[in-house]
Chain A
Amino acid sequence: MPIDLEAFKPAYEKWVEESLPDFRAGNMKEIVKRYPFIAPDDIPWTPYSGQPSDQTFALVTTAGFYLNNGQPPFDTESIHGDTSYREIPKSVRQQDIRIAHAHYDHSLTEQDMNIVFPIERFVELEKEGIIGRLTDIHYSFSYVNDAVSLVTKTIPEWISRVKAAGVDVLFLIPV
């Protein structure tokens, strides 16, 4: 694994302990400053080839979207955040979307989901043939600090789903 989780774990546990008072008080800038960011030694990279017009795209936002048809909201209370994700269909409408993410202002996104999840623009680009195919299912994550669970549990399972859906390109919108 290119990410050194063994080094991250104790640093993260220390961060949780030291950051809880600031987290509870809403001092987000302070806790981000102290967060033990991890990055792989080498940036993962697959050289691009082909044309978008021949490829399948999926959108990934971390805006905390969930559907109001019974999908559960994300946990917005825990300092660890929520490592789960929700599947959002390409036919989604603004009125289907709810937001569970405590750390950005939702007022604009509630007017137009496309500013963090431009699904309607991608549907147009698919119709025009600028991209080959827009997959039926897209993905929303929310606020996450617990990189260990994310990297060891959620992401491997999620990547195999994305692969099975035939996705060539992930269009990532970290919020």
Chain B
Amino acid sequence: MAEEAGIWTISIGNAADRMAHIKPPRAVLVKFARGSMFGEPGNVKRQRRIILDALAALQTMTEPGTIQELPYRWKRPDPE
């Protein structure tokens, strides 16, 4: 309903099955548990990277319903 009002949206999801039902306009998918969408508490660098990835997705996604999976894994170092 936001998009219909001319407001862009970008979603951070962790549940591919639920997202398939809900069909957000643009989304990035993380492999973290519910309640930790940006990784481990205090992992500031990772929080920032996920936001920057989402901002890039906002600018580059051209197809409604696009979902991009991000490479981060719990307690493992971020990829270069």
Residues of chain A at the chain B interface (Cβ within 8 Å): 2, 32, 37, 39-40, 42-48, 51-52, 63, 103-106, 108-109, 111-112, 114-116, 118, 121-122, 124-125, 130-131, 151, 155-156, 159, 162-163, 167-175
Q: A115-B38, A156-B1 are in contact. Are A172 and B21 (CB under 8 A)?
A: no
CB < 8 Å: which of B34, B41, B62 contacts A111?
A: B41
B3 within 8 A of A: yes
CB < 8 Å: which of B3, B12, B54 contacts A44?
A: B3
Q: A104-B35, A108-B41, A109-B35 are in contact. Are A167 and B7 (CB under 8 A)?
A: yes
Contacts of B44 in A (CB 8 A): 114, 121
Contacts of A125 in B (CB 8 A): 48, 51
| Cross-chain contact B38 with A116 (CB below 8 angstroms) | yes
Q: List 24 A-B contacts (CB under 8 A).
A: A32-B18, A37-B18, A39-B22, A40-B23, A45-B3, A104-B34, A111-B41, A115-B37, A121-B48, A121-B51, A130-B55, A131-B55, A156-B1, A159-B2, A159-B5, A163-B6, A168-B7, A168-B8, A171-B10, A171-B51, A171-B54, A174-B11, A174-B12, A175-B37
Contacts of A162 in B (CB 8 A): 2, 5, 7
Contacts of A174 in B (CB 8 A): 11-13, 22
Say which size band chain B's interface belongs to: 35 or more
Chain B proximity of A160: nearest CB distance (Å): 8
A144 to B50, CA, bound (A): 26
Q: In terms of DSSP, what is the predominant structure of the interface of chain A?
A: loop
A155 to B9, CA, bound (A): 14
B80 within 8 A of A: no
B64 within 8 A of A: yes
Q: A122-B51, A172-B9 are in contact. Are A44 and B58 (CB under 8 A)?
A: no
Contacts of B47 in A (CB 8 A): 114-115, 118, 121
Chain B proximity of A31: nearest CB distance (Å): 13
Considering only CB atoms, which chain A residue lies closest to B5 in the complex?
A159
| Cross-chain contact A116 with B35 (CB below 8 angstroms) | yes
| Cross-chain contact A46 with B35 (CB below 8 angstroms) | no
Considering only CB atoms, which chain B residue lies closest to A51 in the complex?
B59
| Cross-chain contact B24 with A115 (CB below 8 angstroms) | no
Contacts of A115 in B (CB 8 A): 35-41, 47
